[in-house]
Structure 1
Amino acid sequence: MTEKYPYDLILFDLDGTLIETAPEIADAVNDTLQRFDLPPVTQQQVNDWIGHGTRTLLIQALAEVGHTTVEAVQAADNFPQIEAAFGVHYEQRCGTRSHLYPHVRETLQALRAEGVKLVVMTNKEGRYTQVVLDAHQMAPLFDRVISGDTLPVKKPNPAGIFDCLKQFSVSSERTLFVGDSSIDVATARNANVTVWALPYGYNMGEAIESCHPDRVISDLSALTAGLVSAV
């Protein structure tokens, strides 16, 4: 790895950072709602709910259409059945309407070729994370995948970052987190690592600049600038 490149480890959020997944998540949610004779939710609602994991998103959707609370949804006798149905629908929908954002694949390939360790750190449950990565042939590009249920805690808890620092013997000063939401910025801040943010993802309806990341980048090609200058 070039000594001029400032990072040895880069962690990435998944939904809204590497892959545009919101359309097919909305499809799966509405497939599930229709199955139980419930009204649909909008794409914008789904966009604004993304960030805390797919299970939480489903609960928020059910609370919205049922005009009730998330606590009532979780306590409902039929919630396990609804959650299981959603799992089937989402696995069927994965890869049908999602796509990589510009410059994602080539940027990851360039960083990997340079020896930078690459990690996905998402709050999406592991079985869905794997399906999404496989649908886009992305899994081989990463040295580790941390999903919302990989560890006992999830973002914005920094445990996943700390675990990677230890696993790859990298200092926090040589680590970068790249995401698209206030959750990602908070996660990086909690681990005392640099955080760059993308403006095109899902930040619960708020502009990413309001989260005050260290840098806002237009797309992932900004990550290879150090590699180009070092050639």
Structure 2
Amino acid sequence: MHDLVMFDLDGTLVETAPEIADAVNDLLHELGLPTVGEDLVKTWIGHGTRELMTHAYAHAAQLEVGSVRRAGTMDMLMPRFVPYYERRCGTRSRLYPDVLDALRSLRARKVRLAVVTNKEGRYVTPILMAQNIRAFFDLIVAGDTLAAKKPDPLPLQHCLDRFQVRRERALFVGDSQLDVQAARAAGVEVWAVPYGYNMGQPIADSHPDRLIATMAALSEAGCTAGVA
């Protein structure tokens, strides 16, 4: 039984790769560089847009990722990427199967809900609003909300503290090794979905507590609020 369920965003609740790829390619086109495919973009999702764009630029420019980091190239490029992605947010994203029903079910049982993502906050709300699910969440912890992000346990601990929920009464649902590592470090149970991104690797290899086919498992498990 859980009093608090925390969710990753990209690859867990919402399929965002198509519009992320659009925004990345908008910038690459402006720079006169070759565009990159959506399947490749999926392998870069998880660490936030700056890291994603670092990999995309390095790939398109045929440079080493480390050399792009050392050169400070992203300090110049990220302000140019922001408006592209802001315009693309919500344009080609979609909810994964059973997400809406699961959120409704959890809400009906008075479970507290939070989004914990490494995506920067300016992009999170537009995506949630576009999918009509923002109202389900009591708290959003983005990649730039706190001093650290996943796989650091701080974002999950922040949620536990905010709602005064014991770690054994909380659950984190994600799609990546970063999510499993953050949950383990926070002492929180972690379930994972196999349809997400996880840098192109099978999430089963990260050994979550449970691998679920869709969010329907949350309804079937009967997550119910109790005494924290």
The answer to whether the superposition gives a TM-score over 0.5 is yes
- Per the normalisation by structure 1, the TM-score is 0.92
Inter-CA distance 77–202: structure 2 relative to 1 (3 Å threshold): closer
Query: Separation in 2 of the partners of 1:157 and 1:228?
Result: 25
Are 2:26 and 1:59 aligned? no
Deviation at 1:165, TM superposition (A): 1.1
Inter-CA distance 177–78: structure 2 relative to 1 (3 Å threshold): closer
Query: Separation in 2 of the partners of 1:228 and 1:61?
Result: 39
Query: Separation in 2 of the partners of 1:172 and 1:36?
Result: 47
Match for residue 226 of structure 1 among 206, 221, 227: 221
Aligned residues: 224
Opposite residue 222 of structure 2, the aligned amino acid is L
Inter-CA distance 68–179: structure 2 relative to 1 (3 Å threshold): same
Query: Separation in 2 of the partners of 1:65 and 1:176?
Result: 39
* Aligned position for 2:185: 190
Opposite residue 164 of structure 1, the aligned amino acid is C
Gaps of 5+ in 1: 1-5
- Per the normalisation by structure 2, the TM-score is 0.93
Secondary structure of 1:11's counterpart equals: strand
Are 2:145 and 1:150 aligned? yes
Deviation at 1:115, TM superposition (A): 0.9
* Aligned position for 2:204: 209
Gaps of 5+ in 2: none
Match for residue 40 of structure 1 among 35, 40, 49: 35
Are 2:163 and 1:168 aligned? yes
Opposite residue 61 of structure 2, the aligned amino acid is G
* Aligned position for 2:135: 140
Deviation at 1:145, TM superposition (A): 0.2
Identity of aligned residues (%): 51
CA RMSD of aligned residues (A): 1.6
Inter-CA distance 80–113: structure 2 relative to 1 (3 Å threshold): same
Cα deviations by residue, 1:66-88 (Å, 9 ceiling, x for unpaired): 22233433454764442122111
